[in-house]
Amino acid sequence: MLAATTLSAHANCEFGETIQIADMSWASASTIAHVESKILEHGFGCKTELIPGETVTTATTMVKKGRPHIAPELWSSNAKKLLEEGEEKGTAYVAGSVFTGGGIDAWWVPKYVIEQHPDIKSVEDLARYSELFQASGSDKGRFYNSIPGWSSEARSTNLMHAYGLDKNFDVFSAGSGAALDAAIVSNYKRKKPIFFFYWAPSAILGKYDMVKLDMKPYDAANDSCNAEPNCKTPVTSGFPVVAVNTLVASKIKDKAPSIYQFLSKVQFENDTVNKLLAWGEDNSADPEQTAEYFLKNHQAVWTTWVPKDVADKVIAKLN
């Protein structure tokens, strides 16, 4: 019976084989993977398979081997050379930008910190307030850096030096995304000051009232050193807005143009994703349940990505 179901799905699917979708380890990427999987299965009649992955490993296998077929949320700053290689070799293509505002990297403090100290507006202002953020056993404030291994980890470290804040703050690694989240939530719930790197869209920024600190404008001409772990001459700058892409293997583009067109239209407002992920956390929903919630409650968004007959099939299945 399973074989017959599989054959039926493939017969109705323009691609003609199981579509592999990268299921990344963070909530937004996994949720979007499930959204695309359900639209492909219910609307296009395809069979899909979610493949665990991370940015660099997924981009590498897509460029080198054409699998998985789709990476729904690829942060280009962590795989720039691989994306260029995929385009040059014709093995993988950027189908579109999945977030309308791009990916946002920034330094943040809770809104209640600004309410108590309204003269804090920029990162430079924090030099006067390092004692607010002191950790036990240190006479300096604590800055919670990005995830180990991410390009934003090196850039944050270098920017702390460029702004002179390393004189007032220890650059601290929580060690993982989960540990960073736990530190932010714990301090927020106790109304304690915390100064940290984070990215958007994310559940943290959808759920908690944070303020992005002003930085100098992003200096594209002089910023390249800031991204290097051993940068000797960092410059004051902001973070670049990161292109976050839907990466598609060439086989999809060549064999399934209607599916490729759908994937090229998948795009979310950052605030929509922040709130969606916050809903998932508040309701202890996994990415698949969060995807179903999105498909049921945000039809005005996703039905613009597909033809009406495809949208109608997905809606009928959800009901």
Taking the alpha carbons of 288, 289, 290, 293 in that order, is the dihedral positive or negative? positive
* 169 strand-pairing partners: 141
Residue range(s) in the chain whose domain bears CATH number 3.40.190.100: 104-227
Q: Tell me the C-alpha distance between 276 and 300, whole Å.
A: 15
The closest alpha carbon to 150, from 273, 248, 26, 21, belongs to 26
How many CB atoms sit inside 10 A of residue 90's CB? 10
Q: Tell me the C-alpha distance between 201 and 278, whole Å.
A: 10
- Tens of pLDDT along 97-109? 999 989 999 999 9
Long-range pairs, 51-59, Cβ under 8 A, ≥24: 51/20, 51/21, 51/22, 51/23, 52/22, 52/23, 52/25, 53/22, 53/23, 53/24, 53/25, 54/24, 54/25, 55/24, 55/79, 56/82, 58/22, 58/24, 58/247, 59/83, 59/86, 59/92, 59/247
pTM of the predicted model as reported, rounded to 2 decimal places: 0.81
Predicted pLDDT at 223 = 86
Residue range(s) in the chain whose domain bears CATH number 3.40.190.10: 2-100+243-318
CATH of domain 104-227: 3.40.190.100
Cα distances (Å, whole numbers) of residue 259 to 69, 178, 219 = 11, 34, 38
Q: How far apart are the first and last CA of the chain?
A: 24
Q: Tell me the C-alpha distance between 224 and 222, whole Å.
A: 6
CATH of domain 2-100+243-318: 3.40.190.10
Burial of 136 from C-beta contacts in 10 A (0-12 / 13-18 / 19+):
exposed
Q: Which residues contact 21 (CB under 8 A, 6 or more apart)?
A: 33, 36, 37, 40, 48, 49, 50, 51, 68, 69, 70, 71, 72
Q: Tell me the C-alpha distance between 168 and 152, whole Å.
A: 20
Q: Tell me the C-alpha distance between 272 and 226, whole Å.
A: 31
Predicted pLDDT at 224 = 87
CA atoms within 13 A on the CB side of 217: 3
Helices within the chain (DSSP H only):
2-12, 27-38, 44, 55-65, 80-89, 111-116, 151-162, 177-189, 203-207, 250-255, 257-265, 270-282, 287-297, 299-302, 308-318
Q: What is the chain's pLDDT, residue by residue, as a tens digit (319 residues)?
A: 333 333 344 458 999 999 999 999 889 999 999 999 999 999 999 999 999 998 889 999 999 999 999 999 998 877 888 999 999 999 999 999 999 989 999 999 999 999 999 999 999 999 999 999 998 888 999 999 999 988 889 999 999 999 999 999 999 999 998 899 999 999 999 999 999 999 989 989 989 999 999 999 998 888 889 989 999 999 999 998 889 999 999 999 999 999 999 999 999 999 999 999 999 999 999 999 999 999 999 999 999 999 999 999 999 999 8
Predicted pLDDT at 11 = 53
Q: Tell me the C-alpha distance between 242 and 144, whole Å.
A: 20
